[in-house]
Amino acid sequence: MSRIGVFLCHCGTNIAATVDMTRLAEATKELPGVVYVEENKYMCSEPGQQAVKQSIIDRGIDRIVIASCSPRMHELTFRKMLTDTSVNPYMLEIANIREQCSWVHKDKEAGTKKAIDLVRMAVAKVDRNAPLFTSEIPITKRALVIGGGIAGIQAALDIADAGFPVTLVEKEPSIGGKMVMLDKTFPTMDCSACICAPKMNDVGAHPNIEIMSLSEVEEVTGYVGNFTVTIRQKAKYIDYDLCTGCGLCEQKCPSKVTSEYERGLAKRKAVYKPFAQAVPSKPIIDAKNCRKFTEDRCGVCEKLCTVNAIRFDDEDKLVTLEYGAVIIATGYELIDWTSLYGEYGAGAYPDVIDGLTFERIINASGPTEGHIVRPSDGKEPKTVVMIKCVGSRDPHKGKAYCSRACCMYGAKHAHQFLDKIADGECYVFYMDVRAMGKGYDEFYMNTLQDGATYIRGRVAKIYPEGDKYICIGEDTISSKIVTVSADLVVLDTAMEPQESADAIGRLFGVSRDLDGWLTEAHPKLRPVETNTAGVYLAGTAQGPKDIPDCVAQASAAAAKVIGMFCLKALESNPMISVVDEINCRGCGDCVDVCPYKAIAMETVERRENSVWVTRDIAVINSGLCQGCGACTASCKSSALDLLGFTNEQILQEVDALCL
């Protein structure tokens, strides 16, 4: 008979407030197999855990039920607690009587009755638990970082500095992401190049980092410590081993194309480096616009190239490598405000631009060498209007969330504008100024002192008048209608996830929230981890944030990876499927449904009824199996069962619920 100890947590008053603990304790004492019931203010606290350990010794308990908060919160804590007791960490069940009972049912009578049911279910299940033991999984000590923005760069550098090889995959021709496009960064007003460029060069020169530019992850199999990742390296049409990056081909290339990097403000060639300080600092050929491909003419670059590094016959290459850990840093994109805000001209007015375009204009290495000019006529604008929260905090037309960084880069733009344009006027329409970082509010105060006029209200409409733009808004503080005729309008638009993040999330089993941001395991407990072991998040892929947070999160994710690589081996998940050989008829249905290809059919020799018989049975690779249980539901004769969630345990739980 099992000797079950049940520990009821008050969780302060979180549970005790709407669940009658004494009545719950009385009812629990009646349950078959229960030999000891104890109530405690905080089970997860040190005294709480100590009480459990002590009662295991005093009363010879061999199974534990803890009625407390969600197992997703402290199942790991209580399992760790059991490692130094005589009870196997998996002889434990948790009844969730907080998030799914006391917090959601005001009526104490109904709440108590439900709590009793939940505890009875947990006791019935733990009665059928069996001790489980972990086994060791080897770790491939190489990391994969997806996304070459500042977050990816920082993470790659930290891991490489710790001595582990890293592959940095970037979809664009060069790493650098959005940060490298910026002019200055708040709050210190360092120029972005002074921070980003050196890091990019470190990455470029680092012996442990291999950059795969113009590449995307295509296929992933395996699990933590042993991911097998196939990466598609798109054709660059240039042999990087020979190319010296001299740029001769770029000069002579006849076809001009609008540069995505310069956000349409300038042109680039068909063979191009996106920007001067690009890393890898070698050009690629844009097949869609290169006349050799489109009209089979030209080929100037091939003729001129001194080291003949041009390869028109280049093709995509598929590289498959083993990785122990993955950091997803796919970054963000600004929303396409033109399709959302017709009242701001829907993109028809050339001088109504978004923040990144303004960054290119103000950037010294930008198309205008840092002179603030209007994209339409190149004249210097005297009056600029900046509109905040365009698409953010706007659940009806755009995104419901706040994009966090725009208040600060808005203030930065105002400061830079007033700095560069002598008698410039800068009007900033805002809803709330969110400057909550270190030195942020002081930065905002300086901008006010520079003479920026902050008007609390949204701009309702912009329409051109002559070469000016009339912005009509309402100042909600003085509740007066305000019209400003501006030469230039900068919209601080909302951030949204990179379009490729959805596919990356699907490949690694990382779910996305309603807005498409990759979901972290737990906002406070495990902010940089995901629910897929061995896959971590860094930067704006996880949600809008500014550069300081991105870098901090990147180093945190890198620390997690380095932490894992320092282990000799990983502990495997013991809650995996097992095959009852006698009962397996070898039909192979389970092989079709296993997402991890963890089941294989094997021909075996068995002695049955005193006759040697050869037959096929299913065999499970305990390393690959992640314990999802899909095979158990496809096996008609229940030859496959999932440890920790066996058929018997589940049926016992259902029976207990219905008593």
Residues from 339 through 368 that contact other proteins (CB under 8 A): none
Binding positions for other proteins, 518-537, rule CB under 8 A: 519, 531-532
CB of 451 to other proteins, least distance (A): 43
Which of 318/654 has CB closer to other proteins?
654
Reported as half-sphere exposure (CB side, CA atoms, 13 A), residue 480 has a value of 5
Question: Within 67-126, which residues bind other proteins (CB under 8 A)?
Answer: 70-73, 96, 98-101, 103-107, 110-111, 113-114, 117-118, 121
Residue in 256, 267, 397, 506 binding other proteins, rule: CB under 8 A: 506
SS3 of 200-268: HHHHHHCCCEEEECCEEEEEEEEECCEEEEEEEECCCCECCCCCCCCCHHHHHCCCEEECCCCCCCCEE
Q: Which stretch binds other proteins (CB under 8 A): 267-275, 350-358, 419-427, 508-516?
A: 508-516
Least Å from the CB of residue 120 to other proteins: 9
Q: In whole angstroms, what is the distance from residue 312 CA to residue 235 CA?
A: 9
Question: Is 481 one of the binding residues for other proteins (CB under 8 A)?
Answer: no
129 sits near other proteins (criterion: CB under 8 A): no
Amino acid at 289: N
User: Which of residues 299 and 588 has its CB atom nearest to other proteins in the complex?
Assistant: 588
Would residue 299 be called left, alpha or beta, if left means φ above 0 and alpha means ψ between -120 and 50 degrees? left
- Return the range that interacts with other proteins (CB under 8 A); candidates 140-148, 292-300, 475-483, 648-656: 648-656
- Interaction mask 41-70, other proteins, x per CB under 8 A: -----------------------------x
Q: Does 1 bind other proteins (CB under 8 A)?
A: no
Distance of CA 630 to the CA centre of its chain: 26
Which of 482, 486, 355 lies closest to 426 in space, CA to CA? 486
Decide if 526 contacts 556 (C-beta within 8 A).
Answer: no
Least distance in angstroms from the C-beta of 588 to other proteins: 6
Residue number, 348 or 657, with CB nearest to other proteins? 657
Q: What separation in angstroms does the CA of 27 have from each of 6, 105, 114, 207?
A: 11, 19, 12, 65
Contacting other proteins (CB under 8 A), which of 288, 396, 524, 636? Answer: 636
Q: Which residues pair with 383 in a beta bridge?
A: 425
Enumerate residues 25-44 that contact other proteins by CB under 8 A: 30, 32
Position among 79, 206, 371, 512 found at the interface with other proteins (CB under 8 A): 512
Residue type, 245: G
Q: Which of residues 559-588 bind other proteins (CB under 8 A)?
A: 575, 582-588
Distance CA 261, CA 243 (A): 22
Nearer to other proteins, 113 or 269 (CB): 113
Binding mask 242-281 for other proteins (x = CB under 8 A): ----------------------------------------
d(CA 441, CA 448): 11
Site for other proteins, residues 584 to 613, rule: CB under 8 A: 584-589, 592-593, 595-596, 601, 608-609, 611, 613
Output 218 or 589, the one with its CB closest to other proteins. 589
The span from the CA of 531 to the CA of 505, in Å, is 11
Residue nearer to other proteins on the CB measure, 328 or 433: 328
Which of 300/643 has CB closer to other proteins? 643
Please answer whether residues 627 and 575 qualify as being in contact, where contact means their C-beta atoms are separated by less than 8 angstroms.
yes
What are the residues whose beta carbons fall under 8 Å from the beta carbon of 259, sequence distance 6 or more? 265, 266, 267, 268, 272, 274
- Choice between 83 and 614, CB closer to other proteins: 614
Residue placing its CB nearer to other proteins in the complex, 103 or 240: 103
For residue 39, the cross-strand partners are 8
Name the residue type at position 130: A
Closest CA to 407 of 431, 383, 424, 376: 431
The DSSP call for residue 473 is E
